Amino acid sequence: MNRIQTLYKSIIGKKVIAAVTGLVLFGFLLGHVAGNLKVFTGSTEQGIPHIDEYGQFLKVAGEPLLPAGALLWGARLTLLTSVILHITVVVQLAMLSGKARPVGYVKSKKKAASLPALWMMFSGSLIAGFIVFHILHFTTGTIQIGEFEHGYVYNNLRSSFSNPFVAGGYIFVMLVIGIHLNHGVWSMFQTLGIDNPDRNKFLRTASTALTMAIVLGFIAVPASFLFGLMPEAANYAHELLTGH
């Protein structure tokens, strides 16, 4: 514990925390996008869209070993902790760096720094705001755009994303996430000391490829609904899904 405290106090340690929490969030995005693609796989014989079934599965995953919702809430708490830590250390480091360069240059020029790297704070803030909105929109249903009913994931998506502003907004934020990940994923390898000249090309290509896969996967959902490519879901009784 003592060692973790010492590590946390150091500049490199804070970077490492940003990298590890970033990895957790990146892993979550991979899972999230894979789950989202169930929108395209159709419905069961009873007319329940696979995505609705998947949503219900997430609520009870881990049963009967764990009580219902334990795995879901465990994951949610891990993600919340990661987001909070990620933001905290990054803000602390940014404040420190501001103090390290109190007087700027009259004329300054960037030779190597990429725009995604320079925009990390901006893209990160936008993503943080989006996460809050996204949870209020699709998880709690507090922000109602179109029709919303808990559990009817497919219909909720259809209702929200047929609005071009909502779909456009989501697509825009996904591109911002892509910009954030483009630097962030590679940066994680460098911070953890995993990158080296012999692996650099592979790690950078893999980071970009995974980022593009995630972004395209996420964009596919609102784009398909927006362009009317998705069929209407059949009406089904909610009891069919929950089994009671």
Binding stretches for other proteins (CB under 8 A): 3-4, 6-7, 10-16, 93, 96-114, 117-118, 120, 183, 186-187, 190-197
Q: How far apart are alpha carbons 172 and 178 in whole angstroms?
A: 10
Closest CB 70 distance from other proteins, rounded Å: 30
SS3 2: helix
Strands (E), the chain: none
Nearer to other proteins, 10 or 41 (CB): 10
Q: Are 220 and 52 in contact (CB under 8 A)?
A: no
Closest CB 185 distance from other proteins, rounded Å: 11
158: phi then psi, degrees, rounded to nearest 5: -60, -45
Closest CB 212 distance from other proteins, rounded Å: 20
Count CB atoms within 10 A of the CB of residue 243: 7
SS3 49: strand
Nearer to other proteins, 65 or 103 (CB): 103
Nearer to other proteins, 107 or 244 (CB): 107
56, 227, 75: which is closest to 150 by C-alpha?
56
Q: Are 213 and 180 in contact (CB under 8 A)?
A: no
Place of tokens 């390290």: 100
Q: Are 11 and 93 in contact (CB under 8 A)?
A: yes
Nearer to other proteins, 102 or 243 (CB): 102
Closest CB 108 distance from other proteins, rounded Å: 4
Q: How far apart are alpha carbons 185 and 181 in whole angstroms?
A: 5
Nearer to other proteins, 74 or 193 (CB): 193
Structural tokens at position 84 = 């909070």
Closest CB 115 distance from other proteins, rounded Å: 11
Closest CB 13 distance from other proteins, rounded Å: 7
Closest CB 204 distance from other proteins, rounded Å: 12
Count CB atoms within 10 A of the CB of residue 152: 22
Nearer to other proteins, 135 or 194 (CB): 194
Nearer to other proteins, 99 or 244 (CB): 99
H helical segments located in 135-163: 153-161
